[in-house]
């Protein structure tokens, strides 16, 4: 093959291959695929042991053995407020739920509830279904991103939470907690539009994570990640 | 008759290998000139690299200063000009006098007009306060102006300057497209269907960039590299 032919082939294929490769690398690095959702019977089976704990009974072991991408977060709501929150980790969903059910009775918010409040309390379970990088973690994106995209549009607000793993223990900041703590509309990209706010406040999130994870080191060392949950 | 037609187009003649005349031409260069030429190309490349590195250090900055522009673009443009000069030393003159060609003025004029147009658009329509974005945007008018300057200047140095600046503009344009695609892929990955809508607009932006920025240097460099283009500048 002549050098000119080779050059022509390269000119027509290399740029397209480069564009395609960069797009694919970044897309698959940040995409969290949609999960196979739990059906109604499985949801009931997941909630059942936790409901029994809130009602003051000894819980039966969970029977839903499914793979999970991280810990489960259990929140107990009473009179519109979150009174208890525990995370449970395990080899599968059943083990994680059992771990959370074991930790839940020791929560001060639960022990203080009266029998009437326990009956009215609601249990929320967030099962982590997938994780993705946050604030870097993919060199192609870090090197080539347009300014502001990674900061301003770091997570899908209301759908994704932020987590950190310290000493093999994972701490989660759930999607609703990000809204509650006003961490989602923290930046003002335009000085002319002061009412226009967007973007997560990663500095504050790191500080919160450092406190929750009881981490003694510097906040910059915390490697954050995004996660999506199935909430029931 | 067919054979005669083929001969008239030079198809019937055996062609020498491309590398042989190039090797002869290189061998014909005065060793001192060759050393200087190689030094200029290496020095120019180093200057370009310095400009790129200085530009990349501004990624986290939130304010743009005049000295940042100077620190990036003086080595970048100077480096390209020196590379062109060094390349001219490395390739001896073909011995043919430049032949007039109207396309030299067309590409030069279009280049100047586009450079002015880009500068106006960047200042008026899409100002970017972040250095990482602004510096990259300004490569379009400045490299286009350099390419147009080379095309209009004529001669061997003008040819090399137009080719080097046009190629640099193409690389910069490709980088802009990669940055847009990477950001669009990020949005599509994080935001799902909503992100895909944003990514679609990003692809439209890429198509516009190809039309508005990439076509001119592609056509200009293609003309320069053709036999007619070489003759128009006396490159041989």
Boundary residue ending a domain (A76, A108, A127)? A127
What digits encode the pLDDT tens for the residues A56-102? 888 888 888 888 888 899 999 988 888 888 888 888 899 999 998 88
Q: Are strands A224-231 and A72-78 parallel, antiparallel or unpaired?
A: unpaired
Give the minimum alpha-carbon distance from A52 to chain B in angstroms, rounded to a whole number: 37
All residues of chain B having their beta carbon less than 8 Å from the beta carbon of residue A144 are 175, 178-179, 182
What is the share, in percent, of chain B residues with pLDDT greater than 70?
85
Q: Where are the domains of chain B?
A: 29-91+100-232
Instruction: Name the residue in chain B with its Cα closest to that of A191.
Output: B129
Same domain flag for A136 and A222: yes
Instruction: Kindly give, in sequence order, each residue whose CB lies less than 8 Å from that of residue A23, ignoring residues fewer than 6 positions away.
Output: B181, B182, B184, B185
Give pLDDT, residue B21.
56
CA distances, A198 to each of A134, A153, A190 (Å): 16, 8, 10
The whole-number pLDDT of residue B10 equals: 45
- Answer whether residue A185 is part of any domain: yes
CA distance A114 to chain B (A): 42
User: A73 with A126: CB under 8 angstroms?
Assistant: yes
* 3-state class (DSSP) for residue A128: strand
Residue A222 resides in a domain:
yes
pLDDT of B191-232, one tens digit each?
Answer: 887 778 888 888 898 899 999 999 999 999 999 999 899 888
Residue A18 within any structural domain of the chain? no
From chain B, pick out residues whose CB is under 8 angstroms from the CB of A153.
186-187, 190-191
Please tell me whether residues A219 and A148 are part of one structural domain.
yes
Work out whether the CA dihedral B223, B228, B230, B232 comes out positive or negative.
negative
pLDDT in tens, B122-179: 999 888 878 888 899 999 999 999 999 999 998 889 999 999 999 999 999 999 999 9
Q: Are residues B182 and A148, on separate chains, in Cβ contact within 8 Å?
A: no
Q: Which of A98, A127, A156 is the last residue of a domain?
A: A127
For residues A143 and A121, membership in a common domain is answered with no
Element (H, E) at A122: strand A122-133
The answer to the question of residue A2 being in a domain is no
DSSP state of A106: G
One domain, residues A76 and A52: yes
Handedness of CA A138, A139, A145, A149 (dihedral sign): positive
Task: Please tell me if residue B133 touches chain A, with a CB cutoff of 8 Å.
Answer: yes
Strand order of the β-sheet with A160-166 is A81-88, A72-78, A122-133, A224-231, A160-166, A169-173
Residue B181 forms contact with A (CB below 8 Å) = yes
- Identify whether residues A136 and A226 lie together within a single domain: yes
- Pick from B18, B177, B187: which is nearest to A19 by CB? B177
Residues of chain A with pLDDT under 50: none
DSSP string, A168-204: TEEEEE-HHHHHHTT-SS-B-S-SS-TT--BS--HHH
Helices (H), chain A: 3-30, 40-54, 93-103, 108-111, 115-120, 139-144, 149-152, 175-180, 202-212
For residue B133, list chain A residues with Cβ-Cβ distance below 8 A: 146-147
Which residues of chain B have a CB within 8 Å of the CB of A200?
A: none
Q: Select from B156, B155, B170, B157 the least CA-distant residue to B220.
A: B170
Domain for residue A100, yes or no? yes
Residue A94 lies in a domain: yes
Q: In this structure, is residue A166 part of a structural domain?
A: yes
Residue in chain B nearest A190 by alpha carbon: B129
Q: What is the pLDDT of residues B5-59, one digit of tens each?
A: 444 444 445 554 545 555 555 556 788 888 999 999 999 999 999 999 988 887 7
- Considering only the beta carbons, identify the residue of A15, A27, A144 that sits closest to B188: A27
Give the pLDDT score at B118: 95
Structure tokens at B39: 């030094």
Domain that holds residue A193: 130-231
Tokens 């799902």 sit at which residue?
A: B192
- Inform me whether the C-beta atom of residue B21 falls under 8 Å from chain A C-beta atoms: no
* Residue in B with minimal Cα distance to A155: B190
Name the nearest CA neighbour of B48 among B59, B36, B40: B40
With contacts defined as CB-CB under 8 Å, which chain B residues touch A155? 190
A-interface mutation test, from B55, B131, B185, B196, most A Cβ less than 10 A away:
B185
Collect all residues from A whose CB is shorter than 8 A from any CB in B.
2-4, 15, 18-19, 22-31, 132, 140-141, 144-150, 153-156, 160, 226
Q: How many structural domains comprise chain A?
A: 2
Asked whether the CA dihedral A78, A80, A84, A85 is positive or negative, the reply is: positive
Select from A99, A127, A155 the last residue of a domain.
Answer: A127
Are residues A117 and A140 located together in one domain of the fold? no
Q: CB distance A3–B19 less than 8 Å? A: yes
| Residue A25 forms part of a structural domain | no
B174 close to A (CB below 8 A): yes
Nearest one of A69, A72, A130 to A101, comparing CA atoms: A72
Question: Do A226 and A135 lie in a common domain?
Answer: yes
pLDDT for res A26: 92
């Amino acid at each position: 093959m002549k050098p000119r032919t080779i050059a022509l082939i390269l000119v027509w294929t290399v740029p397209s291959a480069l564009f395609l490769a960069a797009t694919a690398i970044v897309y698959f690095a940040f995409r969290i695929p949609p999960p196979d959702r739990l059906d109604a019977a499985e949801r009931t089976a997941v909630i059942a042991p936790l409901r029994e704990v809130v009602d003051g009974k000894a819980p039966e072991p969970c029977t839903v053995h499914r793979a999970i991408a991280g810990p489960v977060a259990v929140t107990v709501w009473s009179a519109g407020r979150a009174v208890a929150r525990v995370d449970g980790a395990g080899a599968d969903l059943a083990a994680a739920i059992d771990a959370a059910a074991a930790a839940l009775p020791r929560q001060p918010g639960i022990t203080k509830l009266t029998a009437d409040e326990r009956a009215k309390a609601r249990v929320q379970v967030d099962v982590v279904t997938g994780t993705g990088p946050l604030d870097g973690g993919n060199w192609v994106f870090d090197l080539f991103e347009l300014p502001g995209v990674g900061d301003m549009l770091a997570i899908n607000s209301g759908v994704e939470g932020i987590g950190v793993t310290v000493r093999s223990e994972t701490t989660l900041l759930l999607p609703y907690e990000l809204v509650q703590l006003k961490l989602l509309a923290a930046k003002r990209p335009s000085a002319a539009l002061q009412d226009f706010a967007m973007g997560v406040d990663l500095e504050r999130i790191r500080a919160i994570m450092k406190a929750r994870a009881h981490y003694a080191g510097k906040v910059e060392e915390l490697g954050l990640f995004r996660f999506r949950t199935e909430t029931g | 008759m067919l054979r005669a037609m083929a001969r008239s187009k030079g198809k019937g003649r055996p062609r020498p290998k491309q590398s042989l005349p190039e090797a002869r031409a290189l061998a014909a260069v005065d060793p001192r000139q060759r050393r200087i030429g190689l030094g200029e190309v290496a020095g120019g490349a180093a200057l370009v690299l310095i400009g790129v590195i200085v530009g990349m250090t501004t990624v986290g900055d939130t304010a743009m200063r005049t000295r940042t522009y100077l620190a990036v673009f003086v080595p970048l443009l100077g480096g390209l000009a020196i590379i062109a000069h060094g390349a001219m030393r490395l390739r001896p003159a073909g011995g043919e006098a430049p032949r007039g060609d109207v396309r030299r003025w067309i590409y030069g004029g279009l280049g100047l007009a586009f450079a002015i147009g880009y500068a106006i658009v960047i200042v008026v329509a899409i100002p970017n306060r972040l250095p990482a974005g602004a510096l990259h945007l300004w490569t379009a008018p400045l490299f286009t102006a350099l390419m147009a300057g080379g095309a209009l200047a004529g001669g061997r140095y003008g040819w090399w300057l137009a080719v080097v600046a046009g190629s640099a503009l193409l690389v910069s344009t490709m980088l802009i497209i990669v940055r847009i695609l990477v950001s669009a892929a990020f949005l599509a990955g994080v935001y799902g269907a909503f992100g895909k809508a944003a990514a679609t607009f990003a692809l439209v932006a890429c198509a516009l960039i190809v039309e508005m920025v990439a076509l001119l240097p592609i056509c200009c460099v293609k003309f320069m590299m053709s036999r007619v283009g070489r003759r128009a500048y006396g490159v041989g």
